[in-house]
Each structure stands twice: as C-alpha cells, then as structure tokens.
Homo-oligomer: A and B are copies of this chain.
Amino acid sequence: MSVDDRAPARQGGRPRAFEEVLARIEERIAADGLTVGDRLPGERQLAEQLNVGRSSVREALRVLETLGVVSSQAGRGPDAGAVLTSRPAGALAGLLRLHLGLATLSLREVVDLRLMVEQWSAEHAARSGEGLAEMAAALAGMDAATGPGEFVAHDVAFHLAIAAASGNRLIVAIMEAVRGAVHRYAVDAVARLGGTSGLQADHRRIHAAIGAGDAPGAAAAIAAHLARVYPPGDVPGE
C-alpha cells in the first residue's frame, strides 16, 4: 500500500548538467529575492554564465515550467524570455492526469483528496465569510445553464470560490487540479443524475451554511453533496 518503487530514482552518480542549472537558478531566485513577474536571463546568457550548453539550460527551464514556476515567451521585449510565474495548479493537474493514466492512482484516491479539501475549504470559508458573492454568481450560472458541460463549468466556479475564500492558495491549486482530473466524470454524473435540482439544493445548503458562519454545517453539506455525486462503490478505478 505504498507507491510502487521499482526503478528507484537515479542513483547517486554525477548530477546531470541541467540539475546543476536548476540548483543555480534556485539559488539565484533566493539570493536576488526574485519574485513573480521578474525575468530570468536569456537561455544563451545563462548557458555562458554556467558553462553549459544551451540544451541543458533549456531542460532546466522545462522542469521549472512543468512545476509552474516560469513561463517562456519568444520574441523581444519585457515580457519575453523566461518569466517567473506561479501556476502550481497546472503541475498538479498534469501529475494527476498522468498517474491516473498509468493506473498508478485510482479515481477513488483523487476523490478522497477532493472530499478532504472541499470540507476543509467550506469550514474555513464559513469562518472567513468571504466569497459569498462569487458563489452566488456561480449558483445563478448553474440555474441558467442549458447543458451538462455548461452546468459543470459553473459548478467548478462555485467550488473554486469556496476554496479561494479559505485563503489558502495551495488548496485552491489542488482544487483546480482535482476538478480537472475528474471533469469528465463530473459531466457524466450530471447527465446520469437526470437533473440538477438535487445538486442545486445541495449547493444552496452549502452556500447558506457558509453565509451563516456555520462551519460544521458547511462541512456536513459538502459531505452530503459529494456523496450524491460519488455514490459509494460507484467511482471507477477502485
């Protein structure tokens, strides 16, 4: 019951050139106090500074891009080159997608994480009292939706508003990634349930509990909602 450990990472030979580049870029970020929006030197310049080939620099930048820390744009000007960014959700989404594809993770495990994060978010949103307007807007959007796809889009906005109200950016990123991973399942579930009135009743209960500052009530409402969407034993990949 642990993650499979075959092919146990790289053994400790010499570090690869791009790993050295990675470490140097991290040092530089820390030392220079770089933050989101700042630019890294160009690929050719970094290669010369670090005495490596440009391809090694590019591999390091690709890693940073995968982790949602830089974003590269060609061309010239202040926004070109490798710019520091903060998009952890993309990395998490890719991770879930690939490991689900490898059957290294089951949808059930992802759904467990979703329940955990949603309950926590709802409790904290109830205590902060923020984001109620965004949630209301999403509720209206779901009421007006004409198909499962549109409904789910507003549903995602509703749940992300709750996560954002919790005040924790990491939780928001996890929620984004999880919703991306279960998106197809969500659309199917809406179609399968034959209607959205039950879901909307759940949503309104959640919204009311958060608005009333009732943290336990919000958590319970979330649990009931997710139990409807993911009936026990009905999640593929168990």
Contacts and interface: CB of A to CB of B under 8 A. Distances in A.
A72 to B, nearest CB: 8
Contact of A86 (B4, B26, B91): B4
Number of chain copies forming the complex: 2
Contact of A120 (B29, B116, B172): B116
B7 A37 contact: yes
Interface string A44-75: 00000000000100110011101111011100
Given A7-B79, A73-B10, A99 B88 contact: yes
A151 to B, nearest CB: 23
Contacts of A26: 98, 101
Contacts of A3: 86-89, 169, 172-173
Nearest to A82: B7
A165 B112 CA distance: 14
Contact of A102 (B1, B36, B112): B36
Given A6-B36, A37-B6, A102 B86 contact: yes
A17 B173 CA distance: 27
A169 B105 contact: yes
A110 B88 CA distance: 13
A164 B5 CA distance: 14
A170 B113 contact: yes
B171 A112 contact: yes
A87 B117 contact: no
Given A2-B169, A71-B10, A104 B92 contact: no
A185 to B, nearest CB: 16
A158 interface: no
A190 interface: no
Interface of A: 1-10, 18, 26, 29-30, 34-37, 55, 58-59, 62-64, 66-69, 71-73, 79, 83-92, 94-95, 98-99, 101-105, 109-110, 112-113, 116-117, 120, 130, 164-165, 167-174
7 contacts: A2-B172, A4-B36, A9-B71, A59-B62, A64-B98, A68-B95, A113-B171
Given A64-B98, A86-B104, A92-B95, 5 more contacts: A36-B102, A62-B63, A67-B94, A68-B95, A69-B102
